[in-house]
Structure 1
Amino acid sequence: MDSGTNGPQSDNPVVRLSFELALAVLAYVEELEAARRYVVARQLLRCGTSVGANVREAQHAESRADFVHKCKIAAKEAEETDYWLQLCAQAPAYPTPPTPLNETLLSVRRLLARIIISSKANAT
């Protein structure tokens, strides 16, 4: 595993948590696929892993505006992930999303919101 500043052992909380989120999404997607819920599994896999990918991209942004933009994309992907998890939780015959997955997602969403707000405030 990558042990650099952007790896899963990163000191940066949003990098670390978004990576943990992706791992939790991968595990849950396997449950969905075992239950033959392929369409939802594919959607969740895309958005749930995209959060961390966009957070990682933001770490190498070309400007503050680029950083904020990439964080906003990550936040939107986190919102979509939340949507699919809520759908799975409410749909009959779908495996219930594990609580740690929802908790990690909430932590990532909160961190991204704070990062975006503070980055915008510091831009002026």
Structure 2
Amino acid sequence: MITFNEKYKNNAILLKTFEFAKNIVVYAELLESKRKFVLANQVLKSGTSIGANVKEAQNAESKADFVHKLKIAMKEADETEFWLFLCNELESYPDCIFLLNELSEILKILNKIIATTKRNN
């Protein structure tokens, strides 16, 4: 059986968002273990949606559709950033700086892909 990393080894944004989603699941489980259910759910939904939307963009019907799907991924990333900033500011919440750093890199890459695609369209 082929793994995600093997199948998409040449697609940096897919790999990064997949790894980010895995880390988000672990962080959400940590939040749940500390009975922080509301934010765990928010972080889990938006954080895993980023990669799902990037994956969906790979099957876009046109360049405009591709950009649209990546913009949805950007919106999910922005929402995730909000929830992680909130978690980071709350004293009783586990550290999530590493997730914010990963997300910052993902946002930069998504912005670059969108800008390049628009310019080449």
Q: Which TM-score applies when normalising by structure 1?
A: 0.91
Cα distance in 2 between the residues matched to 1:98 and 1:23: 16
- Report if aligned partners of 2:46, 2:80 keep a CA contact under 8 Å in 1: yes
Q: What is residue 41 of structure 2 aligned with on the other side?
A: 42
Match of 2:5, as an amino acid? P
- The answer to whether 1:118 aligns with 2:100 is no
- The answer to whether 1:12 aligns with 2:7 is no
Identity of aligned residues (%): 45
Cα distance in 2 between the residues matched to 1:70 and 1:111: 14
Cα distance in 2 between the residues matched to 1:8 and 1:82: 24
Matched positions, count: 119
Distance apart, 1:47 and its partner CA:
0.3
Structure 2 residue ranges without an equivalent (≥5): none
Distance apart, 1:2 and its partner CA:
4.3
- Report if aligned partners of 2:88, 2:97 keep a CA contact under 8 Å in 1: no
Q: SS in structure 2 opposite 1:8?
A: helix
Please state which structure has a larger fraction of its residues in helix: 2
- Report if aligned partners of 1:20, 1:104 keep a CA contact under 8 Å in 2: no
* Residue-by-residue CA offset, 1:13-43 (whole Å, 9 max, x unaligned): 0000000010010010011001100000001
Match of 2:18, as an amino acid? F
Alpha carbons of 1:63 and 1:72: their partners in 2 closer, same or farther (altered >3 Å)?
same
Cα distance in 2 between the residues matched to 1:93 and 1:78: 24
- Report if aligned partners of 1:8, 1:20 keep a CA contact under 8 Å in 2: no
Cα distance in 2 between the residues matched to 1:21 and 1:85: 13
Alpha carbons of 1:2 and 1:57: their partners in 2 closer, same or farther (altered >3 Å)?
farther
Distance apart, 1:8 and its partner CA:
2.8
- Report if aligned partners of 1:21, 1:48 keep a CA contact under 8 Å in 2: yes
Distance apart, 1:105 and its partner CA:
1.1
* Residue-by-residue CA offset, 1:36-75 (whole Å, 9 max, x unaligned): 0000000100000000000000000000000000000001
